[in-house]
Amino acid sequence: MSILIDQNSTFIIQGITGREAVTMTRELLNYGSKVVGGVTPGRKGRDVHGVPVEDTVRAFTERMEVTGAIVAVPPAFAADAVMEAIEGGIKLIVIVTERIPRKQVAEFIEYADQEGARIIGPNCLGLISPGKSKMGGIGGAADATQRAFKPGSIGVMSRSGGMTVEISNALSEAGLGISTAASIGGDAIIGSNYAELMPLFEADPETKGIAIYSEPGGPSEAMLAEYMTASKSRLPVVAFMAGRFMDAMPGMRFGHAGTIVEGRADTTAEKIARMEAAGISVAERIEDIPAILKQRIG
Amino acid sequence: MRFYEHEAKQVLAKHGVPLPKRSVARTPEEAEAAAAEIGGPVVLKSQVLSGGRMKAGGVKFADSPAEAKDAAAAILEIEISGQRPMGVLVEERRAIAQEYYAAVTWDARAKKPVIIFSDMGGIDIEEVAEQHPEHLSRTNFSNLRPFSDYIAKVAVSKTGVTGNHLGPLTRIVTALARVFIQYDLTLAEINPLARLEDGTFIALDSHMDMEEEARNSQRALLRELAIPDEDTRLARPPTEFEIAGAQVDAADTRGVAGRVVEFDGNMGLVIGAGGGSLTLFDAVRAAGGKPANYCEIGGNPSVAKAAALTKLVLSKPGVEKIAVMMNVVSNTRADIMARGIIKGCIEAGRDPGETIAIFRIPGSWEDEGFKILRKYGVDFVDRSVSMHEAAARAVAKMGA
């Protein structure tokens, strides 16, 4: 099994005619993802690699079952596209776009909560259930994706898209493989953080352990630690913490929008302490993650 | 991006929040004139973007214009966290009966804005939260429903404030919340918010941070505050090297190649992207390396952009070699990166084989990349060598 997406999932891509989205469409189709449509206002009737384009989301949702929408429109129009997807009844939305102002992100997350829709991102590479489907640019070309993501037993969650691939590759090379990998996004406010996805992995019998990539800033690691303590999770979790150099540089933003040390709780030292206290193993190097997981899974 | 206190107060004034009489002075003479204009005792405050002004000697009191002139002269000479003050804020000094704290910021747990209010202002608010939780309220409000004044009233009332103090405090907190929403702020704070001995309320100090991503949509406000585009407003002002990095990135919209931050070391870094850069910077330091810079390269930048960033890093005095490293890439092409970075070395008059300590960009188009790298005698590795191993290998090549 896997979480959120599998071989039967169907997707539309909002902003499908943009340059990067055209490439992503081809890569998704080559990988085997079921891309059933694309939306770009004014481009109704065209196609992208054989995928039909419509002006509106409802043009698809009114006549077929659509599992999810990938939002790949420029930042100025992204929030509007997400609102349209939620209103159209779509329950899983992956937002690839980066640099959407926080206020707009918080608005569409609140609307999604009201409508029972799940948001992944923004500023992410999306989801992959290896061998079944992927949703977003994660892994790039189909052959490169197959190489880095082998089917297996580890759930991966990462605030960095690139590091989702790096960690998954290490787990694949070590023979553990991936059940589902989620690039959850690097912004300060995101649709789904680690603790919010954990119950899904918990319910997936194929997932035997969790690997996460974490960094300074935000409450996601603290929330995961609280979840682990409260839920008595069956899943061993191994975290890699990047950005240790930032502890001594408060107020400076590095990497993602959400990565800034503003208070003590934002530092890697504090986050590592909280996670370890909750039974989460913290790896010093990426290549140490598979061995720790193997040992903890037993 | 951060606003100076006097800018934050200008924003508050626009929205009807009562403030002390005040004026920004850039010289001791201007401060003297400002104090004379205000009349009576004044307080002078260093205008820097970092906190800790009081401790650093950046806040002084004066009873006469002559004293104000001397105080301003002293403050203008004091660097705070490496920053020279842009000026001194001269304000009338008022007799205070009680101090409050009010802030609106983002609550990333609730994914909503939160009003933080306390009737114990003027001191470290984290300390109040820990030691006097009953004196501090946290009140989330919806992103979707229009802000309504009762939300501010609830926030104030939760700390026990009532009677004729409730109305004026509610009005100020409401204004603060509306300012937060309207200008895409990530923090709007008044601390202390004072009740004066005459019974009126007034914002004595204010701190505001604006969302970086909102710079375009908030251009009107930035113009009103006379903040130029190149003013990054991070915790410290950008160096020339960092400004040049931003220009490299802005020259071409395709991909990212820039976001450089300067450090003191001898090892230039061309690394990416967001999380990869953090991981690799740590890895270089863990191996005993001394980075000359942080940077981010990713997306799918052009050959020209990768070359320009390489040249910039090599232009920094003392940079002996560069390490080129990324995580396993999805949409960045290894061959384009190889071409761009070799081009950058050559244009900087350096031998790519000598200059590039390590090249580790596994993923798309890597075989084409390896061919180019081999031709120029560059030491490269594939994904079988981890990020930490690659960093250690590069560090080992640096002169002792």
The model's pLDDT over A212-246, given as tens digits with 9 standing for 90+, comes to 999 999 999 999 999 999 998 999 999 999 999 99
Rank A49-63, B71-85, B291-305, B320-334 by mean pLDDT and report only the highest.
Answer: A49-63
Span B313-339, average pLDDT: 94
E-strand ranges in B181-251 read: 185-196, 201-203, 206-210
Contact B275 A138 (CB under 8 A): no
Q: Is A49 a catalytic residue?
A: no
**Could you tell me if B274 lies within 8 Å of chain A, comparing CB atoms?**
yes
Each residue of B184-218: b (16+ CB within 10 Å) or e?
bbbbbbbbbbbbbeeeebbbbbbbbbbbbbbbeeb
pTM of the entire structure?
0.93
How many Cβ atoms are within 10 Å of A1's Cβ, its own excluded?
Answer: 12
- For residues A178 and B54, which has the higher predicted lDDT (pLDDT)? A178
- Per the CB < 8 A criterion, the answer to whether B45 and B53 are in contact is yes
Predicted confidence (pLDDT) per residue in B171-202, tens digit: 999 999 999 999 999 999 999 999 999 999 99
| Tokens matching residue A168 | 């998954």
**Could you tell me if B232 lies within 8 Å of chain A, comparing CB atoms?**
no
Q: DSSP assignment of B212-230, as one string?
A: GGGTTTTHHHHHHTT--TT
Contact A103 B181 (CB under 8 A): yes
Distance from the A205 Cα atom to the nearest Cα atom in chain B, whole angstroms: 28
- Per the CB < 8 A criterion, the answer to whether A223 and B109 are in contact is yes
Q: What is the pLDDT of residue B156?
A: 98
Residue B122 CA from chain centroid, whole number: 23
Give the confidence band of B235 by pLDDT, cuts at 50, 70, 90.
low
Three-class SS string for chain A?
A: CCCCCCCCCEEEEECCCCHHHHHHHHHHHHHCCEEEEEECCCCCCCEECCEEEECCCHHHHCCCCCCEEEECCCHHHHHHHHHHHHHCCCCEEEECCCCCCHHHHHHHHHHHHHHCCEEECCCCCEEEECCCEEECCCCCCHHHHHHHCCEEEEEEEECCHHHHHHHHHHHHHCCCCEEEEEECCCCCCCCCCHHHHHHHHHCCCCCCEEEEEECCCCCHHHHHHHHHHHHCCCCCEEEEECCHHHHHCCCCECCCCCCECCCHHHCHHHHHHHHHHCCCEEECCHHHHHHHHHHHHC
Q: Which of A150, A159, A256, A271 is catalytic?
A: A256
By DSSP bridging, strand B206-210 and strand B185-196 are antiparallel
- Mean pLDDT, chain A, integer: 96
Residue from A102, A160, A192 to probe the interface with B (highest B Cβ count within 10 Å): A102
**Could you tell me if B109 lies within 8 Å of chain A, comparing CB atoms?**
yes
How far separated are the first and last CA of chain B, in Å rounded? 40
Give the confidence band of B155 by pLDDT, cuts at 50, 70, 90.
very high
Nearest to B214 among A101, A111, A213 (CB): A101
Q: In this model, does residue B335 exceed pLDDT 70?
A: yes
Q: What is the largest CA-CA distance in chain B?
A: 81
Q: What is the pLDDT of residue B40?
A: 92
Nearest to A166 among B234, B331, B387 (CB): B387
